């Protein structure tokens, strides 16, 4: 009957082994190998291309859609934020650079004229800003494929580096999973032991 006391510990070890095995086959083997006629490869290495394609599509559609980027970039509020800088440059141009490059014209422009011209320029820029940026974004969109860029980036990741990063960031979670699995195994084993003991 003493062998019954081994059941909880055997069960706990088996559950711990299953979790350990799962984390191992998550990455290993990196490259496909043939074992007894079966193709064997780690889950992530085998699915890396598929994961890359799905991630690229998801990010491009949900987070970095070109239409959303264009709306964000051409938002008038962005122009309002940089208006003081633009206005400062226009003021410097009208008061200093213009007089330096065209002294005759500069002599005819006073503060009132400078302020009027500055106001006209700022209003025109405010109207042109969305069109200019919108055109710029459209050209970038034509040359840049976010989905393809992300897909290629993920496909190019080294599985070895992914494994290192995983264990570096999730080592605590891994240990917790192993402990929980062992405790569950211990409980199931103890329950099994009691049932067998009662039946006998």
Three-class DSSP category at 73: helix
Question: How buried is residue 161: exposed, middle or buried, by Cβ count under 10 Å (0-12/13-18/19+)?
Answer: exposed
| Model confidence, pTM | 0.55
d(CA 152, CA 52): 7
Q: What are phi and psi of 144, to 5 degrees?
A: -120, 125
Q: Return per-residue pLDDT of the chain as tens, 200 residues.
A: 566 778 888 989 998 999 999 988 888 888 878 877 778 888 888 888 888 888 888 777 766 566 666 666 666 676 677 778 888 888 888 777 777 777 766 666 777 777 788 888 888 777 777 777 777 766 766 666 777 778 888 888 888 888 888 888 888 888 999 999 999 999 998 888 888 877 76
Q: Which two tokens stand for residue 45?
A: 């290495």
Residue 178, strand partner residues: none
**Which among 35, 6, 40 is positioned nearest to 25, based on CA atoms?**
40
Write down the domain spans for the chain.
2-36+43-199
Contact 162, 27 (CB under 8 A): yes
Q: What DSSP designation does 156 have?
A: T
């Amino acid at each position: 009957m003493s062998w019954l006391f081994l059941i909880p510990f055997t069960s706990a070890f088996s559950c711990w082994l299953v979790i350990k095995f799962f984390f191992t086959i998550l990455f290993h083997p990196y490259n496909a190998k043939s074992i007894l006629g079966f193709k064997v490869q780690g889950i992530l290495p085998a699915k890396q291309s598929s994961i890359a394609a799905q991630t690229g599509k998801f990010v491009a559609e949900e987070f970095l859609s070109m239409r959303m980027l264009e709306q964000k970039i051409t938002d008038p509020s962005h122009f309002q934020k940089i208006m003081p800088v633009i206005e400062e440059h226009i003021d410097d141009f009208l008061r200093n650079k213009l007089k330096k490059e065209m002294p005759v014209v500069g002599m005819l422009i006073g503060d009132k004229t400078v302020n009027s011209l500055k106001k006209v320029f700022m209003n025109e820029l405010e109207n042109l800003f969305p069109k200019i940026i919108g055109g710029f974004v459209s050209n970038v969109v034509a040359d840049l494929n976010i989905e393809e860029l992300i897909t290629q980036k993920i496909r190019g990741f080294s599985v070895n580096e992914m494994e290192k990063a995983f264990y570096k960031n999730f080592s605590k979670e891994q240990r917790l999973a192993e402990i929980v699995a062992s405790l569950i195994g211990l409980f199931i084993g103890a329950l099994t032991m009691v049932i067998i003991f009662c039946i006998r």
